[in-house]
Amino acid sequence: MIVLDTTVLVYAKGADHRFREPCRDLIAAVAADRIEATTTPEVIQEFVHIRARRRGRNDAATLGRSYAELLAPLLTVAGDHLERGLTMFETTPSVGAFDSVLAAVAKSAGAVLVSADGAFSDLPDITHVVPDTAGVAGLLGDN
């Protein structure tokens, strides 16, 4: 099981970038049932917020719904995830509060966390994969 961060969703639908094609490949693999992935409603919400600034609300909401359907069932943040995430936030200055809570959710699910944000690698006991060509190939067993 993998948990996708907002960066994967943004790059998969975004402009030309070194992460765009690997993120698209990863999303396509999820759609083809080659790999199991999920995320949280908060990640979908953040994606929609970012997308709406560039492409408008209707486009953003439509893509947000598509991602929610593709990645269902979504993981929900509970009080214990929040507490663990806040502890990570306190002890790892390079990771923001949102990302700390997402990492706690991924850890609780026993999942690999996929994100272009390298700060996730600073968190102990979190398996973080960068969604570049090599990282996605490793997830898909294409290496």
* 69 contacts: CB under 8 Å, gap ≥ 6: none
Q: Is 122 annotated as a binding residue?
A: no
Task: Check if the beta carbon of residue 107 is closer than 8 Å to that of residue 35.
Answer: no
Dist CA 118 CA 34 (whole Å)? 25
What is the dihedral angle through the alpha carbons of 138, 140, 141, 143, rounded to the nearest 10 degrees? -50
Dist CA 93 CA 46 (whole Å)? 21
Per the annotation, where are the binding residues for Mg(2+)? 5, 99
Per the annotation, where are the binding residues? 5, 99
